[in-house]
Amino acid sequence: MVNILLVSHSYKLATGTAELLHQMATSEALKVRVAAGIGDDHEEIGTNAVEIMEALMELTMDGEVLVLMDLGSALLSTEMALQMLDEETAARVRMCPAPFVEGAIAAGVQANMGSSLQEVYDEAMGALDAKRKQILGEEETPVEEAASVQEKEAITSDGVELRITVTNASGLHARPAATFVQTIKKHDAKLSVTNLTQGGEEVAIKGMISVMMLAARQGDELILKATGNDRQAMLEELEQLFLDNFGE
């Protein structure tokens, strides 16, 4: 299991980020700790290398650790903490340069699925892309037309496809995206998705960020393409999620 350490100057920022993370990554096996603030009650702004070291010792007991830091001395204090750990322990820890909040949530969702440290790291590193795409948009123009879509709906030799409309009000934002990937992970199958309405390319779904990259909003039509042994069961479960508006 990959555990997560949030290092911040502000105890409120770290605990608030942990709270956001737990909203989407609810597994009890996932440990998220904060090392933030300074002073007896953590109320002053600053980071404490000793506290970081202690947190790392605890989190490495039963797994590896991805560390997300806000800025400045959070990085220096974490490096200092790593220097004080024995090499074997330090080797189970990876510092991640992803943006603090986005990276933490992406990492948390990925870690929650039992992914490797590398996968969790990669997912966090892609976290900014989804936000960038949502705000800046893309140059691409819609390429799919209804006719060609119909052709794609058939069962192909290597997979099953499902065409579905996003109906929940806020689209595939972070929380539905997390539910979406957690459902995929339960099955022995792979999924790629094309957002027909936004005219994007087919996206292989590896984690929450790749779902968010679809920038799927209410009313968008998606093509879900599944391969693998469990593809039918997975698509049925995903379809149900859409029909239930992801529980919103």
Q: Of residues 73, 110, 168, 179, which one binds other proteins by CB under 8 A?
A: 73
Pick from 20, 57, 80, 164 the residue near other proteins by CB under 8 A. 80
Stretch that binds other proteins, among 66-74, 115-123, 127-135, 154-162 (CB under 8 A): 66-74
Which span (49-57, 131-139, 168-176, 189-197) binds other proteins, by CB under 8 A?
49-57
Minimum distance, C-beta of residue 193 to other proteins, in the bound complex (Å): 38
Question: Which stretch, 48-56, 59-67, 147-155, 170-178, contacts other proteins (CB under 8 A)?
Answer: 48-56
- Angle at 105 (CA atoms; ends 208, 76), nearest 5 degrees: 130
Beta-carbon count within 10 A of 34 CB: 21
CA end-to-end span of the chain? 29
Binding to other proteins by residue 44, rule CB under 8 A?
yes
Pick the closer one to other proteins by CB: 54 or 119: 54
Angle, CA of 142, 143 and 145, to the nearest 5°: 100
Residue that the structure tokens 């007896």 belong to: 40
The yes or no reply on residue 8 touching other proteins (CB under 8 A) is no
Burial class (CB in 10 A: 0-12, 13-18, 19+), 202: exposed
Counting contacts by CB under 8 A, is residue 57 touching other proteins? no
Q: Mask: binding to other proteins, 9-28, rule CB under 8 A, as x and -?
A: x-------------------
Q: Which is nearer to other proteins, 65 or 74 (CB)?
A: 74
Query: Are residues 30 and 1 in contact, defined by beta-carbon separation less than 8 angstroms?
Result: yes
Q: Distance between CA 35 and CA 60 in Å, rounded?
A: 15
Smallest distance from the beta carbon of 76 to other proteins, in angstroms?
A: 4
Total Cβ atoms within 10 A of residue 121: 22
Chosen residue from 45, 57, 125, 128 binding other proteins by CB under 8 A: 45
CB closer to other proteins out of 89 and 232? 89
CA atoms within 13 A on the CB side of 73: 12
Residue 210 lies near other proteins (rule: CB under 8 A) = no
Task: Please give the Cα distance from 183 to 172 (Å, whole number).
Answer: 14
Q: Residue 198 has which token pair? A: 């936004």
Place of tokens 């149900």: 240
- Which residue in 15, 20, 46, 95 binds other proteins (CB under 8 A)? 46
- Residues in contact with other proteins by CB under 8 A are 9, 38-39, 44-51, 71-73, 76-77, 79-80
